[in-house]
Amino acid sequence: MASFNRLTTTASELQDLLRSGKLTSADALTAYLEQIDDHDSWLRAVIATPPRRLLFERAKMLDDEREQGKVRGPLHGISVLVKDTFNTPSLGVATTGGCYSLAGAIARQDAEVIRRLLNAGAIVLGKTNLSELNGWKGSDLPFGWSAVGGQCQSPYVRDGLVDDGSRLSHSSCGGSSSGSAVGVAAGFAPISIGGETDGSLNMPATRAALYTIKPTVGIVSRAGLIPVSPFCDSPGPMAKSPRDVADLLDVLVDAKMTRIPSGGYRSCLKQTFKDIKIGALDPAIWTFAPGIATPDEGATKQMIADIKAAYTTIQPLTKRFVPFLPLSTTPQVHTEDQDLPDHLTALHALHKPALEAYLRDLEASPVRTLEELIHCNRSIPEELPAAFPQQDYLEHDLTFKLYGISPHQAARDARSRAQKRIDDILYKYDVDVIIGPADSYITNFAAAAGYPLATLPVGVLAFNGRPFGLTAITRAHGEAVLVGVQSAWEVVFERSVPEALRGVEERRARGGRVG
């Protein structure tokens, strides 16, 4: 049985081992489940795994198919983690969104994303922890915390989660797709699926030194997914390499909703920036407000310096590089008319009908309405513990109304304004993408516009080991461009690995065991 390092081995590299016969899908599955058993008690990245008998039956079936010459594609026999917001009745695992009130719900069928993964030959080995209900339960709840899953932890941060009074401290793993990112970084699986409304893929992937792409809103199915709002929601992949991101996009993206490149997204991988035009945002001014993330002087200086150094490195390699674009750092997308709703207002207005449509479609559920969910939460002590009793987002949206404009019109107006701001910059400065610090409000612009974004790992903070990086945004249906940017980036910049777990994996490898 071949040895492999779970912290560094990508899905495509694992596929090479499977193809060569040096490893079986069952071997790899065993290794990943061992890693979960060894480390998830403190990382809290996985809420549930399917019955192991079913997992190994599927692994054997896929190994048998391979022996018979049937390989479904790059995901054949590859283990994958999925956020606990995707319906998975065929796996024998409930979908809770981290909420005890949904623990007894039964979905009619698998989410479309799950169906596509299974048809592609993937092994869904676990459901991942998250900021409860996609971070839409209550204010001031820590990112990565859910009542069902507990507090998800970064495998990079040396002293664990440190409460500094902000929701997004420098030790936080980010959210809401926390477990999907932590699970891949910790070697629980080579790839994962999360979901983003506004930053929920971007932030946890950045803080786990992973590559992710939030696709253009609407080109990956949201069917069977606990929603915030169809206005901004999109499932998306997380991986250690752009190639794996591209392979996942080829499985997830609906060809009826966009134009997939000839040869698929894998054909868009590049080795160079020579055909790419980039505009960059100033890391000295693109930050979060202190109320979101408490500043640390040393961390701030390092991120500014390292990001500027990264800009300097890639500038001569690009077709065009424009530093410090004059895009406003205002987090909400307004016009001068402050009476017009911003995109977050539209999200709140659309949340209740979206969530209730999901609840009504379940085959069985303890709750069918937002009001019932709120009341059920109050009846479960573990759901509203003394440390985290908030569900004010849910309570706010129960009665929230817009006046003088429908929620859908408000969303359309906010989207149009956001798209114009991004498009004007891309056109005026003749660039393909805008890049800026991921620890900033850049995701607000992409979310409001419905445009795709991608992460670019840069480095780790000296004082606690937490990764940081950049976010790239581009026009709608620009996933091919982002795959090219990520793959060119990977050639130049090395991805970091959690030091605390690296030694464990290296010792196992030297001992000849899978690991």
Q: Which two tokens stand for residue 280?
A: 């960059």
What count of Cα atoms within 13 Å lies in the side-chain half-sphere of residue 496? 23
Q: What is the pLDDT, as a whole number, of residue 514?
A: 36
Q: What is the pLDDT, as a whole number, of residue 289?
A: 84
DSSP state string for 415-483: HHHHHHHHHHHHHHTT-SEEEEESSSTHHHHHHHHT--EEEEEEEE-TTT--EEEEEEE-STT-HHHHH
- CA–CA distance, 490 with 494 (Å, rounded to integer): 7
Rg over CA atoms, the chain: 22
- CA–CA distance, 149 with 42 (Å, rounded to integer): 11
Q: H/E element holding 237? A: strand 234-239
Please provide the distance, in angstroms rounded to a whole number, between the alpha carbons at the two ends of the chain. 11
Given CA atoms 42, 45, 47, 51 in this order, what sign does their dihedral have?
negative
- CA–CA distance, 196 with 214 (Å, rounded to integer): 7
Nearest by Cα to 470 from 292, 311, 236, 315: 311
Asked whether the beta carbons of 422 and 445 are under 8 A apart, the reply is yes
Which domains are present in the chain? 11-336+412-502 (3.90.1300.10)
Asked whether the beta carbons of 191 and 120 are under 8 A apart, the reply is no
Q: What is the pLDDT, as a whole number, of residue 515?
A: 33
Per-residue DSSP letter, 46: E
Q: What is the pLDDT, as a whole number, of residue 338?
A: 52
Residue 221: is the preceding peptide bond cis (ω within 30°)?
A: no
Q: What is the pLDDT, as a whole number, of residue 335?
A: 47
Does 20 qualify as catalytic in the annotation?
no
Q: CB-based burial of residue 184 (10 Å sphere; 0-12 exposed, 13-18 middle, 19+ buried)? A: buried
H-helix segments, 196-258 = 202-206, 242-252
Q: What is the pLDDT, as a whole number, of residue 408?
A: 95
User: 221-232 burial, b for 16+ CB within 10 Å, e for fewer?
Assistant: bbebbbbbbbbb
Does 176 qualify as catalytic in the annotation?
yes
Indicate left, alpha or beta for 156 from its phi (over 0: left) and psi (-120 to 50: alpha).
Answer: alpha
- CA–CA distance, 193 with 191 (Å, rounded to integer): 7
- CA–CA distance, 62 with 47 (Å, rounded to integer): 25
Amino acid at 80: V
Out of 83, 137, 214, 270, the active site residue is: 83
Out of 169, 171, 176, 496, the active site residue is: 176
Asked whether the beta carbons of 227 and 361 are under 8 A apart, the reply is no
- CA–CA distance, 303 with 284 (Å, rounded to integer): 9
Angle of the 25-43 helix axis to the 52-67 helix axis, nearest 10: 150
Q: What is the pLDDT, as a whole number, of residue 402?
A: 93
Q: What is the pLDDT, as a whole number, of residue 458?
A: 98
Q: What is the pLDDT, as a whole number, of residue 327?
A: 86
- CA–CA distance, 420 with 478 (Å, rounded to integer): 16
42: helix, coil or strand? helix
Sheet of 277-280: strand order equals: 46-48, 123-128, 79-83, 191-196, 234-239, 211-214, 453-460, 467-473, 433-437, 277-280, 320-322
Those residues of the chain that have pLDDT short of 70 are: 1-2, 330-340, 500, 502-515
Q: Where are the beta strands (DSSP E) in 76-185?
A: 79-83, 123-128, 145-146, 150-151
Tell me the pLDDT tens digit for each residue of 104-159.
999 999 999 999 999 999 999 999 999 999 999 999 899 999 999 999 999 999 88
Out of 146, 171, 200, 496, the active site residue is: 200
